[in-house]
Amino acid sequence: MKSLKKAEAYLNSLISRGIKNIPTVKPATEPKQVPSNNPLNELKQQVLPCKLCAELAQTRKTVVFGSGDAQAKLMFVGEAPGFDEDQQGLPFVGKAGQLLTKIIESIGLKREDVYIANVLKCRPPGNRNPLPEEVINCQPYLKKQIALIQPKVICALGNFAAQTLLQTSSSITRLRGKWYQYEGVKVMPTFHPAYLLRNPEDKRKTWEDMKMIREELKCLS
């Protein structure tokens, strides 16, 4: 109450001296906001009620569309939401997500600087592997996301993401560490963070992949 009276007295003193226009100071940084009429948000509204996969539509709590900078130069694509993601409606928020955050920060970026999505937008029951027909149903959504975001580099996390984007049956062990193309966008496959939690000895290989991504982004900037 005292601070309010002091502020009022200060304003009155300014007015008495003929100062009527008091400048306001904006915060140094303002959070990025995607307009509601943004095409990516429009796509999200189309995806949220999706019931193409009958089982997933019944067992999911929420559709996990994706999150991040809608104009990101770097996009991460994973497999499918897990339990935590299904609960919160955001991708990579569990333990694997915490590791992904560290991986992103290791190349000098923040989560809000990139865009993160999954091949599937719904959690498979019991975190089972996605079924081929589920991948086929969801693939057009991912393709449209990539087309709207227009990233310069895609990091494919794990087998399903890499195999879906590159249309190959090769394992992530064979694919990682090399550059590929997805409709004109450079793709770097690497291990999924969940795999790295179980196999921490392979974190070094992922670091090598991320350094290649960092150098590519530098060349593109």
Q: What is the pLDDT of residue 221?
A: 77
CATH code of residue 150: 3.40.470.10
Nearest 5°: the CA angle 149, 154, 156 is 130
Count how many domains the chain has. 1
Residue 17 resides in a domain: no
Mean pLDDT of 186-195: 98
Residue ranges of alpha helices (H) inside the chain are 2-16, 39-47, 54-59, 83-88, 95-105, 132-149, 158-166, 172-175, 193-198, 203-220
3-class secondary structure, 96: helix
Could you give the CA distance from residue 7 to residue 14 in angstroms, rounded to a whole number? 11
Q: Residue 129: which domain range?
A: 38-220
Q: What is the pLDDT of residues 208-217, one digit of tens each?
A: 999 999 999 9
Q: What is the pLDDT of residues 29-82, one digit of tens each?
A: 333 445 566 899 999 999 999 999 999 999 999 999 999 999 999 999 999 999
Q: What is the pLDDT of residue 8?
A: 54
- How would residue 168 be classed by pLDDT, with cut points 50, 70 and 90? very high
Say what the pTM is.
0.83
Residue 33 resides in a domain: no
